[in-house]
Amino acid sequence: MEKVELGWDEFWAEIFRVRHRRAIQGIEQYDKLVVAFIIEVFTLKKGNEILDIACGAGDHSIEFAKRGLKVTAFDIAQSLIDVAKKRAKDEKVEVNFYTGDMRDMSFESQFKAAVMLSHSFGFFNHEENKRVLMGAFHALKDDGCLLLDLMNPYNLPKFQKTWTQLEGGFLLNEPHVLDAHAGVLTGRPAMFFDMEEDRIVLMDQDALSNNDIRMYTALEIREMLEEIGFSKVEFYGQHILPRLPYAANSERMVVIAHR
């Protein structure tokens, strides 16, 4: 089999965010539960504006739109925005899609809520991560709230080597590794056995290094958010109802910050 290396956008966006996500059993139902949690926690009403930062293939954005919210969805990967636009059209909902870098968002006092789902925070160095939070702060109205849905740094999933059957082939995932000194979860190398093209698709160096995630603790996140100007910061232990308090053994660390 021929081996090819693909960069971050091609490998991550198409193989991971689209094919891999769609192969997860029950994911659509799960997305609905996450959206229901956010609507309840933020007491969102039909017509309220929400910003989905790093929206990926738009699965949550489309679900918010189906519930009557005015959704703006933002991602750096044009290929994902294209997939999301097509799905929104098929589902007959309206979503404003933007392609851009979350470090350079320029929304001003527009949204009642902003969300970053499936651990879409911490991809950059500390200053840049703070800049993302600042962009979210400015995007919110005075009574707006931000939600970060993060893995719990004190209770990371037990990452394992996995084989998954996807449309057109098989994905082999190596486990993530936590660099305890840097507090960074390193990108997990993955390989796609593309049976349609009869080739093995590998991640190039850019794809691998662009996949690292800084794992902040609750204390660190609170400090960053308060420095930026958020007034009240709360934590929950899961991103579905019922609301569970955050603890060391929680499944997730869900951060809610009020502007």
Ligand X SMILES: C[S@@+](CC[C@H](N)C(=O)[O-])C[C@H]1O[C@@H](n2cnc3c(N)ncnc32)[C@H](O)[C@@H]1O
Task: Tell me the pairing of strands 49-53 and 177-179.
Answer: unpaired
Task: Tell me the pairing of strands 199-203 and 190-194.
Answer: antiparallel
Rounded Cα gap, residues 227 and 215, in angstroms: 19
As measured in angstroms, the least distance from the Cβ of 259 to ligand X is 21
* Closest CB to ligand X: residue number: 56
Rounded Cα gap, residues 243 and 255, in angstroms: 12
Which of 15, 50, 71, 80 touches ligand X by CB under 6 A? 80
Residue (50 or 117) nearer to ligand X, CB: 117
Which of 5, 10, 32, 118 touches ligand X by CB under 6 A? 118
Question: 86: closest CA among 57, 118, 56?
Answer: 57
Touching ligand X, residues 145-204 (CB under 6 A)? none
Which of 77, 93, 139, 207 touches ligand X by CB under 6 A? 77
* Segment interacting with ligand X (CB under 6 A) among 55-63, 164-172, 198-206, 244-252: 55-63
* Segment interacting with ligand X (CB under 6 A) among 54-62, 63-71, 195-203, 225-233: 54-62
As measured in angstroms, the least distance from the Cβ of 181 to ligand X is 24
- Is 130 exposed, middle or buried, given 0-12, 13-18 or 19+ CB atoms closer than 10 A? middle
Can you read off the two tokens belonging to residue 201? 């698709």
As measured in angstroms, the least distance from the Cβ of 98 to ligand X is 9
| Residue 55 touching ligand X (CB under 6 A) | yes
| Residue 54 touching ligand X (CB under 6 A) | yes
Q: Cα dihedral sign for 139, 256, 46, 143?
A: negative
Strand ranges of the sheet holding 111-116, from the earlier edge strand across to the other edge? 95-99, 70-75, 49-53, 111-116, 140-151, 252-258, 232-236
Contact 199, 216 (CB under 8 A): no
As measured in angstroms, the least distance from the Cβ of 124 to ligand X is 7
| Residue 56 touching ligand X (CB under 6 A) | yes
Rounded Cα gap, residues 13 and 60, in angstroms: 16
Question: 94: closest CA among 120, 74, 66?
Answer: 66
| Residue 72 touching ligand X (CB under 6 A) | no
As measured in angstroms, the least distance from the Cβ of 72 to ligand X is 13
| Residue 11 touching ligand X (CB under 6 A) | no
As measured in angstroms, the least distance from the Cβ of 123 to ligand X is 5
Q: How far apart, in Å, do the first and last CA atoms of the chain sit? A: 54
* Segment interacting with ligand X (CB under 6 A) among 49-57, 90-98, 134-142, 169-177: 49-57
As measured in angstroms, the least distance from the Cβ of 210 to ligand X is 8
Residue (60 or 70) nearer to ligand X, CB: 60
Contact 19, 164 (CB under 8 A): no
Q: Which residues are at the interface with ligand X (CB under 6 A)?
A: 13, 17, 54-56, 59-60, 75-77, 80, 101-103, 117-120, 123
